[in-house]
Amino acid sequence: MKKVGVIGTGYVGLTHGVILAEKGNSVICYDIDPEKISRLQRFDIPIYEPGIKELVKKNCEEKRLEFTSDMDYCISSSDIIFVCVNTPPKRYYEGVFRRADLSFVENVARTIAQTMKSYKVIVSKSTVPVMTGKKIYETISKFNNSLDFDVVSNPEFLREGSAVKDSLNPDRIVIGVMKDSSENLLERPLKIMKELYSNFNAKIVETDLWSAELDKLLSNTYLSLQISFINKAAELCSATGADVSKIAESMKLDKRIGPFAFLRAGIGYGGSCFPKDIENLGTLLNDYHIDPSLFEQVIKINKGQRDGFIKLMECGLWTLKGKSIAVLGLSFKPDTGDMREAPSIDIVRALCDEGAIVRVYDPEALSEAGNHFGNSVSYCKSVEEAVYGADAIALLTEWDEFKTMDLQNVKSLMKEPSHFFDGRNVFDPSFMSGIGFYYYSIGRPYIKPVREVVK
């Protein structure tokens, strides 16, 4: 059992803290936001993440997990400190890229330096550009060069919506440590981290600090690249009549590509990770005078998917002004209430700018949606309320609730003709046209709706 402190209890910190407690460690979670801590102390979980509430309650009751607003207590009671604070993109662009704002990480590094009295392993879990671990090390050493500590990079690979499952059963655990003067990985922090993860059934990748940081950025960038690849392919399919879904299914049968490849055409990626991580990588390439144009294209294609979706809607509806549009799904992916950089933000705003009457529904993201759309849209409590009297549906997030909705009933509540714009290629075009929808999806052939046969 290790004594672990977690600084920053958002999606990553909360999930990681709970999982380490569940694995038998003693965990103290701290956040700068006292409101968040007081909610967590009441088991009122600030994020939507399947399975997390039960684990928080269980581990608090079994005294392995606690939440505090006292950072000194968190640091002084822990031997291993995970830094899980946010690293959002800065506001200004360098070309198409934005740099990460590392002020939250720096802030934590300074506080740790001021507080620590005994040896600590300081672990960066936040996604950071290469060399941040070194900066943390230098910041703490500058403050007091007699302090005994090690800095480790242990990037997080969880996916929102399945964070608990992913963290309990990770594909890999990457541990990056500094090297000694003979270029060997430092043994002390490596041993401590391997002990911490000894009861996880996952391959441990031992590496240096910089490679661990870069591993995370490159992994997310590679996944973004696959998404933009299939979206560019979808454009060609739309222009020529091929079916991108069938092609993607076939490609995944190739073992070199594999069944889990991110080859699903749609309105593109969003969230707090993919957009930020590829932009971080881009700024790094620029810093080292390496041509970043491959990644510029990935970002441009991704943004183009949102504009393309609005064009698809104009193509089906002719003009958007005065049309009643039901938007189903706002979060950047299913099973989360997180709307950071979600495609829905640009799409809903564009619909409003065009003068459409927009009614939105999402199972978990409605409260966050208010911050983005204010009173420019109507917020609905159900699919039925959103689609009632609508000219069209725009499906933007593939929640199970939408995949399994009663489409006959949905259509009966809408105006005629009923248009369905599927931004996630959830439904089968023949099936949808059979119901009588004018159904449009991404990179798949358009099939005219089946009309009633006149006897």
Locate tokens 């430092």: which residue? 186
Cβ-based nearer residue to ligand NAD, 155 or 308 = 155
Asked if residue 196 lies in contact with residue 20, where contact means CB atoms within 8 angstroms, the answer is yes
Q: Which is nearer to ligand NAD, 16 or 411 (by Cβ)?
A: 16
CB of 112 to ligand NAD, least distance (A): 10
Q: Least Å distance between CB 9 and ligand NAD? A: 5
The footprint of ligand NAD (CB under 6 A) covers: 7-13, 30-33, 36, 84-87, 104, 107-108, 126-127, 156, 158, 160, 272-273
CA–CA gap between residue 309 and residue 270 (Å, rounded):
15
List of residues 6+ apart from 215 with CB closer than 8 A: 155, 174, 176, 205, 207
Could you tell me which of 426, 443, 440, 445 has the C-alpha nearest to residue 231? 443
Q: Closer to ligand NAD at the Cβ: 8 or 329?
A: 8
Cis amide linkage into residue 417, ω under 30° from 0: yes
CB of 407 to ligand NAD, least distance (A): 31
Neighbours of 106 (CB within 10 A): 15
Choice between 49 and 354, CB closer to ligand NAD? 49
- 271-294 burial, b for 16+ CB within 10 Å, e for fewer? bbbbbbbbbbbbbbbeeeeeebee
Residue nearest to ligand NAD (CB): 10
> CA-to-CA distance for 389 and 401, rounded, in angstroms?
20
**Smaller CB separation from ligand NAD, 13 or 429:** 13
Q: Cα separation of 91 and 101, whole Å?
A: 9
C-alpha closest to that of 20 among 227, 164, 184, 204: 164
Instruction: Quote the Cα angle for 38-42-45, to 5°.
Output: 85
Q: Which is nearer to ligand NAD, 268 or 429 (CB)?
A: 268
CA nearest 73: which of 171, 7, 20? Answer: 7
CA–CA separation, 273 vs 224, rounded Å?
10
Q: What is the DSSP letter of 94?
A: B
Q: From the CB of 31, what's the least distance to ligand NAD, in Å?
A: 5
**Residues designated as active site:** 273
Three-state DSSP class for residue 43? coil
- Is 439 within 8 Å of 449 (Cβ atoms)? yes
